[in-house]
Structures are given as C-alpha cells and as structure tokens.
Structure 1
Amino acid sequence: MIEVENIQKSFDGTRVLKGISTTFNTGQTNLIIGQSGSGKTVFLKCLLGLFTPDEGTICYDGKTYSDLTDDEKRNLRQEMGMVFQGSALFDSMTVEGNVRFPLEMFTKQSASEMQDRVDFVLNRVNLVDAHHKFPSEISGGMQKRVAIARAIVMNPKYLFCDEPNSGLDPKTAILIDNLIQEITEEYDITTVINTHDMNSVMEIGQKIIFLKNGVKEWEGSNKEIFKTDNEAVTNFVYSSDLFKKVRQMYIEERN
C-alpha cells in the first residue's frame, strides 16, 4: 500500500501538485488519469522518489520515505519495478539480457539462479521462445511484455507503469492491460499506472485518480466513473462518441 498525504510540488515558482492525498491499494491496479499538464508525470516521479515533494508525505507500507536513510531508500527503490512509456529496452542486448540486467546490477545470485528467474518471468509474460532475439526483431507488443518481465524480475512490491499501451493497437493494448492486472493480483503488488487510454480505465481501473491542474479532482473505480456527475471527469472520459454511448446505455439501464 502507498499512502499519499498533501503532496505539493513546485518548479520555478509554479505549483504543479497542489496538495494531493490518496491511497494506492495492494493487489489492485491503480490508475492516474488527466489531461496533459495535469501533473500526472510529476506525481508519478514523486511516487518513484525521483522528485522530492516540497510538502507532504509518501508512505510505502507504513514507511515514510522522507524518514528513511539513504541505504533504506536504496533498498526501497529495489522493491520498485518500472515499465517505461517506450519500453526503454537496451537495443544491444537480447530479450534475455534485458530481463537479466537488474539481477546482475542489484543481486548476488549465481548465473544459474539468474537464468531460472529470467526463464520464469519470460514464461509468465508468454515469451518462451524470444530469449535470444533483439528488441528490433520483435513487435511492439512483445517489447512491452519484455519490459514487464524486466520490471517484475526482482519480485517487486510496487509496480509503476507510464503509458504502458502507448503505440499499441487496441487488441494488443487489451492483452497488456490484462497481463498487468493478472500479475498485480497474482503477486499481490501495488500497481500504479499513468495512462491516457480510456479502454484501460474501463477494463482495469480498480482505483482511478483523476488529476486536473495539479489537484485531485475525483477518485473512484471504473464502475463508479459511470455514475459521477463531475463535469471535468465526464468531459475527459467521454470525449469520444463511443464512451458517450456507453455512458448513455448505462444510464438507460439504471432507469
């Protein structure tokens, strides 16, 4: 569980985050949504420890980040997995090498132990025959699965995903969403996803935080978002005709 209390962050006198408080639950997919410039990326970087909030606290399973020693912060970061927007794979490394990289950097496992772990996570993301391929030799969807495998190879407590469906076709995006949710529930991870993808919101939004101009405008589940009368949320989520129709169908069924 990650507990956020009154997080504020400014850059050059401009307040980007304006007192955000929320909780991200373990074993759930927690989504951060909002328009460009709403503060999503800055908020995610605060959660990752890349930015230090000007005010407020972030607690990871009861441990307040600002109270930790440098060694404790380093250990906490090793419990975090990250899936980057562009996958961020090393082009010169094979799939196997990319996934093994965190183990080589941060553990003292033997070569056979590392190989067993790499084989396990690649199998878990359904990439059993891609070990010796390079990123340029596989599809965008497969690259995302490699990125997820690398993110979970250290068996993290916390998984952060920045636009994991960026650049993917709708069918592949759904597969990635389902994979992230399955892994979250299976390994009881606290997963936080920064996304613009409304399909993700509807499919796996067990907890949704909507930011607007650095403020938490709304929070709830993908079921509750159908019910909200918050104009900022409805304008953002139902900007497409498809979702307007889905919402109207829901309202008609309710009545």
Structure 2
Amino acid sequence: MIKVKDLRKSFDDLEVLKGVNTEFIKGKTNLIIGQSGSGKTVLLKCLLGLFTPDSGTIEYNDRAYHDLSKDEKRELSKQMGMVFQGGALFDSMTVEENVMFPLKMLTKMSKQDMKSRVEEVLNRVNLIDTNDKFPSEISGGMQKRVSIARAIVNKPTFLFCDEPNSGLDPRTASVIDNLIQEITYEYDITTVINTHDMNSVFEIGENILYLEDGVNAWQGNKDNIYKTDNKKVTDFVYASNLFQKVRIAQKEGL
C-alpha cells in the first residue's frame, strides 16, 4: 500500500499539487484520472521518487520515504516496476535483452537464471518466440507487453503505469488492461495507473483517484463513479460515449 498525506509540489511560482491525500491499495488496480494540468504526472513522478515534494509524506507499506536512508531509498527503487507511456524500449536491443536489462542492472543473477526469468515473464505476457526480435519487428501491442514483462521481471512490490494504452486500438487496449489487472492479482502488488482512457476506468478501475487543479476532488471505484453527484467528476467523464451508455443503461435498469 502507498499512503499520500498532504502532498504539495510547486515549480517556481506554480503550485501543481496542493495537498493531495489518498491511498493506493495493495492487490488492486489504482487509477489516477483528471484533465491535463491536474497534477497526474507530477503525482506519479513523486511516487516514483523522480520529484521531491515540497511538503507532505509518501509512505510505502507504512514507511515514510523521507525517513529512509540513501541505501533504503535505493532498495525501494529496486522494488518499483515502471511501464512508460511510449514503451521506452531500447531499439538496438532484442526483446530478450530489453526484458533482461533490469536484472543486469539491479541483480547479481547468473546469465542462466536471468534467461530463465525472462522466459518466464515473456510467457506470462503471452509473447512466444519473440526473444530474438527487435521492437521494430513487433506490433505496438506486443511492444507494450514487452514493456510490462520488463516492469515485472524483477518481481516488484509496486508497479507504475503511465498511459499504458496510449496509441493502441480499443481491443488491444482492453487486452493490456486485463493483463495489468491479472498481474496485479497474481503478484499481489500495488499498481498505480495514470490514464485518460475511460474504457480503462470502467473496466479495471477498482480504486480511482480524480485530481482537479492539484487536489483530490473525488475517490471511488468503477461501480460508483457513474452514480456520483460530484459535478466535477461527471463533467470530466460525461464526454465519454461509454460513460453515457452506462448512465442510460443504469437508468433503464439494464
């Protein structure tokens, strides 16, 4: 679990996070949604340790980040897996080499054990016989699965995903959503997903944080987001055709 308490972050005179208070639950898919400029990306980078908050605390399994020593922070970073928006695969490396990269950087595993672990996670994300292919030789959806395999190869405690469905067609995006949710359950990890995809919200939104202007304006799940009377939330999501269909179905008792 990750607990965020009164988190604030400014850049020069611009205050982006204005006292965020929330929890990201272990074993569930936690989504961060909100308009551009709401603070989603800044919050995610604070959670990753890429930005240092001006004030407030972030606790990882009840341990405050600012209380950790340098060595403890380094160990915590090893427990984090990251799926980047664009995949961020190394074009000059094969699929196997891309997935193996964190193991080479962060562990002292033997080459044989690394290859075995890579094979295990590639099988888990349904990528067979792709080890020797380069990213340019596989589809966008397959590249995202390679990125997920790389993020979980080191058996993380925390998994962060930044717009994992960006650039994917709806069917492939749904496959990626379900894969991330399945992995969250199987590894019993704390997964945090920064997304603008409303299909993801209604499909895997078990714990949803809605940010607006740097504060958490609403928190709930996929089952009650369409029932909320919070106008800020409904104004944000009502533009989604999927949201409108859900609203109509609920009113008609379907």
Q: Output the TM-score relative to the length of structure 1.
A: 0.98
Match of residue 77 from structure 1: 77
Match of residue 144 from structure 1: 144
The count of corresponding residues between Structure 1 and Structure 2 is 254
Paired AA for residue 227 in structure 1: K
1:131 paired to 2:131: yes
> Percent identity among equivalent residues?
68
Distance 1:68 1:241 in 2: 45
Q: Output the TM-score relative to the length of structure 2.
A: 0.98
SS in 1 for 2:96: helix
Match of residue 157 from structure 1: 157
Distance 1:23 1:108 in 2: 33
SS in 2 for 1:196: coil
Matches within 5 A, 1:51-90: 51-90=51-90
- How many angstroms does 1:251 deviate by? 2.6
Distance 1:44 1:217 in 2: 17
- How many angstroms does 1:242 deviate by? 3.7
Match of residue 239 from structure 1: 239
SS in 1 for 2:105: helix
Distance 1:169 1:111 in 2: 36
1:202 paired to 2:241: no
Paired AA for residue 58 in structure 1: I
- How many angstroms does 1:252 deviate by? 3.0
- Aligned Cα RMSD in Å? 0.9
Match of residue 174 from structure 2: 174
- How many angstroms does 1:248 deviate by? 2.2
Paired AA for residue 153 in structure 1: V
Q: Deviations over 1:164-197 (max 9, x none)?
A: 0000000000000000000000110100000000
Matches within 5 A, 1:3-152: 3-152=3-152
Q: Deviations over 1:94-129 (max 9, x none)?
A: 000000000001100001100110000000000021
Paired AA for residue 35 in structure 1: Q
Q: Which structure 1 segments of 5+ residues have no match?
A: none
